[in-house]
Structure formats: structure tokens, C-alpha cells
Structure 1
Amino acid sequence: MVNAPPPFIPGAFVGAEHRFRARVYFEDTDLSGIVYHANYLRYMERARSDMLRIAGIDQRAAMEAGEGSWAVTEIAIGYRRPARLDDDLLVVSTVEAVRGASVIIAQRILRGTDTLTGESLTEGRVTVAFLSPAGRPRRLSDDWSNRFTAIMNGETIPC
């Protein structure tokens, strides 16, 4: 008898934090079983994409409508400890600032699934900007700005 896989569990908001779980697979590591440095950025990117989706910010619809797309314009990352093969990771994201065309998001990656007991592995600060199809900064809609502000303040996201 084959057991059915568990349902997909996306990230979730807990107050002002978006929490996203990930697991380290063999493809994420080097020959010593340690996560390759660029893959931490991938975990962070997946968490940010999940955060936007849950917040009701439809990246695909914006691209298909010719409105524009999100791009990382600045990133700072600090590595504290290595993640290893089969580790359970938790990416915690918080919105720090909402500007006219950009948002600053702080992210940290923990080993474990609890923000209180998890071991801090990596910390980053990312600026993402909404760009027009021509690549120029484009002001966030009032709806998106309100959603990011609600997230930043730990409030319920507007419907």
C-alpha cells in the first residue's frame, strides 16, 4: 500500500512575520554536505514569493497585464553557521519599510522550525522594487502599499 503524500503546506503569517519551511536536499549542497552559499538566496526568494502570494499580491497577473515585475535591487547577507543535508529550515521574513516603488524585507534562516529555539544560520536584508516593463521603477498601487503596510504592522491583510 502506498501512502499519499501530505498536502502542500505554504508559508504563513504569524503576526508581522512570514514563516516558510524548507528542507536541505542533496542538490543544495557541496560535496561535504554543506549548503552552497548561493542557495540561501534561493530559500529567501522562495519565502518572499510565498509571502507575496499569501498577501494577495499576484506577480504573474501583474506581468501578464504588462504592469511590470519585481526585482531585487539591493541585498546584504551574512552567513553565521552552515546548513547541512536534510536540515529542516525556517525562513522568517518581515517587512521593514514600504517606499513609493520598493519594499525592504529582512530575512533570516534558522535551523529548526521554531523561532525561539531555532539556530540562526543566515541573515539578510533585501530591497525589492516594482519595475515597469521598460525596467524603470514604478510606484506601488495603493492596494499593494496597503497590504505591505499591514504586513509590516502585523495587521490583518486587506481582502
Structure 2
Amino acid sequence: MVKTELRVIYGDTDQMGVVYYANYLRYFEAGRNEFIRAKGLRYRDFEASYRLRLPVAEVGVSYKLPARYDDLVAVETSLVEARRASARFGYRLVRGDDLLATGFTVHACIDLEGRVQRLPRELLDRLSSGEALSGAVSKE
């Protein structure tokens, strides 16, 4: 798990000062980027080296408590599952001891022409280092 701290900016909130629901996905993205960076990679380097992309194929969010303007929040990001051509990340958004939201994203692995490709073994090894996956990393 990698923890990423963020400060809620005014532009992320609605008229009531509560974070607009879709902005939680931006927080998840920030957490995922820092997760990948903590594993010794930068997403742009992955794209350039492997000539692959990891677009979001599925997403889910469960909202527990509202995040508000100027809150210091943390996104806890983990690689939950890796399959032959996809990876699932899990997220917890917290403010101190309060759980604000949980969620996940599933990413397909595609080449530059949009064709599904196998996730490179080196990438899987790096991303799963130090992680306890709920499902084993599948070689299929």
C-alpha cells in the first residue's frame, strides 16, 4: 500500500463546499500515479519503454463521508489483482481516522493501436513487490 496526501482545493468542491463526486476519481488517479512511482516507475516511462497503455476499463466508488474544502486527505492505493492483460487497483480515501470513500479501477493493457496485450512480467513483478494480492498474479 502506498499513501498519498492531498489537500482539497476549492475548485474540487460544489456549492456546499463538499468534494464533487467525480473528483474522487482524480484522487484515485493521483494515488495510482504515486503508487507506480513508489515502485520505481513513472507512467510516462512505462508508456515509452513498452509502447503500451493502461486505460481504465471499469471503476467503482463507495462514498462514506464527505471530503470538504481544505481537508488534508490521503489516498491509500494497492494493487489488488493482476491478470494476463489487466490490473485492478484498490483505494481508500481517508481524513485522519475517518474513512471517506473506497473504490477500485480496472485497467486493460493495450498497445498503441488499441489491441489487448499481455502485461509485461517485469511490470507485474515491480508493481506487486511488497504487495499482498487478494488474487494471485495470473500468468494466463
Q: State the TM-score, normalized to the length of structure 1.
A: 0.77
Q: Which of 28, 45, 49 matches 2:33?
A: 49
Alignment-derived partner of residue 32 in structure 1? 16
Structure-1 separation of matches of 2:94 and 2:128: 25
Is 1:136 the equivalent of 2:119? no
Alignment-derived partner of residue 138 in structure 2? none
Matched to 2:54, the amino acid is: W
Structure-2 separation of matches of 1:81 and 1:140: 35
Is 1:109 the equivalent of 2:93? yes
SS of match in other structure, 2:22 = helix
Structure-2 separation of matches of 1:127 and 1:133: 19
Q: Unmatched 5+ residue regions in structure 2?
A: 134-140
Structure-1 separation of matches of 2:32 and 2:52: 17
Alignment-derived partner of residue 5 in structure 1? none
Q: Unmatched 5+ residue regions in structure 1?
A: 1-16, 113-117, 155-159
Deviations 1:45-104 (A, max 9, x none): 011011112212332123335712111111111111110111110101111111112111
Aligned residue pair count? 133
Identity %: 32
Kept after mapping to 2: 8 A contact 1:108/1:124: yes
Structure-2 separation of matches of 1:89 and 1:58: 23
SS of match in other structure, 1:91 = strand
SS of match in other structure, 2:3 = strand
- CA 1:119–1:73 in structure 2 vs 1: closer, same or farther (change >3 Å)? same
Q: Which of 50, 74, 85 matches 1:90?
A: 74
Q: Which of 43, 63, 68 matches 1:79?
A: 63
Structure with greater Cα Rg: 1
Alignment-derived partner of residue 136 in structure 2? none
- CA 1:57–1:129 in structure 2 vs 1: closer, same or farther (change >3 Å)? farther
Kept after mapping to 2: 8 A contact 1:97/1:152: no
Is 1:119 the equivalent of 2:98? yes
Q: CA RMSD in A?
A: 1.6
Is 1:146 the equivalent of 2:130? no
